[in-house]
Structure 1
């Protein structure tokens, strides 16, 4: 099988992308042809976005052999601005300065034609779970799989749910071994009504002996208010060039009106008290979601959803369709009230 791999965590890294090298190696060991296109940097929480109007530029990652060093899987490699010669047998992945969805578009239709058609897209493994609606609707991992689905290609969004940041090599390798078996199973038994699967594998010991469950997605919401934290801006913050220019032009206009004895008579300048006051406090905002909303919603939910399954140490498999499905029960003409 020819499998295209992407993710939203970027190239292998102990800090932000510790799992993708293990999965690629496991798929290759199982006999699959694996082509890899990743964002050149982390693109989490970006959904199925494309960077419109931007030319996408590739670079080339050459992974070192996967080994264990100091109790961790190695995630090293080199990056080049030019690809290897066509006759080279060394492994090389493509990095692009764009999103997971763009990685899928490029990977499906451009660089790998000589390897034959791509049978399946696997987006991940994500560094962390993508269970419940709150996580899933913003996930770049699921966004990459969605992009494949709207291109008519089978896709799996794969996420590894960690409970601590101890990246034990045996646990990661076990999760990758299970993922390969599950990927093979889902592809072989693909449901014709399913466009993509969202899979969450918990990083626990002996995960291969734990249950694998079909689940529904838990429909939850942010309940604690804004996902952004207000940051007060220092008074001495530098003004931008446009602000400085606008202030200069306004000063010039006021001076001109004074010279002509017409200050305050033109609409839009020196408005009466109450009409020209500052409406908003100038603040900055920092992305700081309250993840307790997600965990609390899982604790309060009934068994059978993806969040609940991961919390039990089970692997969840959620069949999805790549659309915003309409609500049933509405039809006919709308008559507006008088």
Structure 2
């Protein structure tokens, strides 16, 4: 197959994108033609967004061979503003300063014509799980797969669920090899009612010997109030996306512990006595979602959903449709 790979974590990096090179190498070793278009930087939690009004400028990434160094994968490479000459045999990936969904559009329609039609889009592997509705609705990984689906191309959103961030090269390699088996199976046995699949592979030893389960997506919600925390007037520049994402990955390791953040935030405005208009208090906010809501919903749910499967360290495969499905039973005119 000709497979287009994208992600929302950006080019290979031990800090923010440690899995994509391993997956690409595993797909190539299985005989697939792999073309790669990635965001040039971290684009997590961006869903299926496009950056309206922005001109996209590609750069070109040349991955170095995978190797193991001090127990970690060394998978960096070089980036150039210009592509390799056409007669070069060196591997080259495309980086674009936009979103996963934009990467899919550009990869499907503007590159790789000489390699033949793209048969499948794989978005991922995400650095962390994408289970339950709360995570999935904001996921750039799933957003990229959704974009492919609405372009009429089969797609798989792939996420690697970690329980610690040791990034053992052997476990990553096994997860990549297992993912290739799942991808090949789904491609050969594609259900006509599925537009895409969300696959979550746990980073555990002998993952290929553990169960791979069909699951439903756990329908959950935020229950602890705002995902924003009131802060004092910031004195420094905002944190970068990679720093915030790293903090969230650390929070995943602490799943089940007491959540962090400010409790008892005020309502956001003051209403003077006798006034007819609201007088708003000037405030600053920081995005600080309470991930405990997600993990608690998984603990409270019955078996069979994607969150439960990953908690039990099984691979979860969830068939999805790329739409907002309407609620049945409403027809005719509204009589107001």
Short-chain TM bin: 0.7 to 0.9
Please name the residue that 1:265 is paired with: none
Q: Residue 284 of structure 1: CA displacement?
A: 1.4
Please name the residue that 2:60 is paired with: 60
Please name the residue that 1:194 is paired with: 194
Please name the residue that 2:94 is paired with: 94
Q: Residue 331 of structure 1: CA displacement?
A: 1.2
- TM norm structure 1: 0.87
Please name the residue that 1:248 is paired with: none
Equivalent-residue separation in structure 1 for 2:44 and 2:120 (angstroms):
22
Aligned positions of 1:316-335 closer than 5 A:
316-335=316-335
Please name the residue that 2:12 is paired with: 12
Equivalent-residue separation in structure 1 for 2:281 and 2:83 (angstroms):
50
Equivalent-residue separation in structure 2 for 1:81 and 1:131 (angstroms):
36
SS at match of 2:38: strand
Q: Residue 311 of structure 1: CA displacement?
A: 0.3
SS at match of 2:280: coil
Equivalent-residue separation in structure 2 for 1:298 and 1:180 (angstroms):
27
Equivalent-residue separation in structure 2 for 1:137 and 1:278 (angstroms):
33
Preserved contact between residue 21 and residue 75 of structure 1 (Cα < 8 Å): yes
Please name the residue that 1:262 is paired with: none
Q: Residue 330 of structure 1: CA displacement?
A: 1.1
Please name the residue that 1:244 is paired with: none
Count of aligned residue pairs for this structure pair: 300
Please name the residue that 2:24 is paired with: 24
Q: Residue 277 of structure 1: CA displacement?
A: 8.5
Question: Does residue 49 of structure 1 match 2:49?
Answer: yes
Equivalent-residue separation in structure 1 for 2:125 and 2:274 (angstroms):
55
Preserved contact between residue 61 and residue 77 of structure 1 (Cα < 8 Å): yes
Aligned positions of 1:39-188 closer than 5 A:
39-188=39-188
Equivalent-residue separation in structure 1 for 2:76 and 2:48 (angstroms):
28
Q: Residue 274 of structure 1: CA displacement?
A: 7.0
Question: Does residue 219 of structure 1 match 2:219?
Answer: yes
Equivalent-residue separation in structure 1 for 2:211 and 2:279 (angstroms):
56
Equivalent-residue separation in structure 2 for 1:319 and 1:292 (angstroms):
26
SS at match of 1:78: strand
Q: Residue 281 of structure 1: CA displacement?
A: 2.0
Preserved contact between residue 228 and residue 289 of structure 1 (Cα < 8 Å): yes
SS at match of 1:102: helix
Cα RMSD over matched residues?
1.5
Preserved contact between residue 12 and residue 75 of structure 1 (Cα < 8 Å): yes
Equivalent-residue separation in structure 2 for 1:133 and 1:323 (angstroms):
14
Equivalent-residue separation in structure 2 for 1:165 and 1:280 (angstroms):
43
Note the alpha carbon deviations across 1:218-250, whole angstroms, 9 max, x for none.
Answer: 00000000111111217x99xxxxxxxxxxxxx
Equivalent-residue separation in structure 1 for 2:185 and 2:214 (angstroms):
13
Equivalent-residue separation in structure 2 for 1:35 and 1:93 (angstroms):
7
Equivalent-residue separation in structure 2 for 1:317 and 1:162 (angstroms):
17
SS at match of 1:24: helix
Q: Residue 280 of structure 1: CA displacement?
A: 1.9
SS at match of 1:319: strand
Structure 1: gaps spanning 5 or more residues:
238-272
Preserved contact between residue 233 and residue 282 of structure 1 (Cα < 8 Å): no
Structure 2: gaps spanning 5 or more residues:
237-272
- TM norm structure 2: 0.87
Q: Residue 75 of structure 1: CA displacement?
A: 2.1
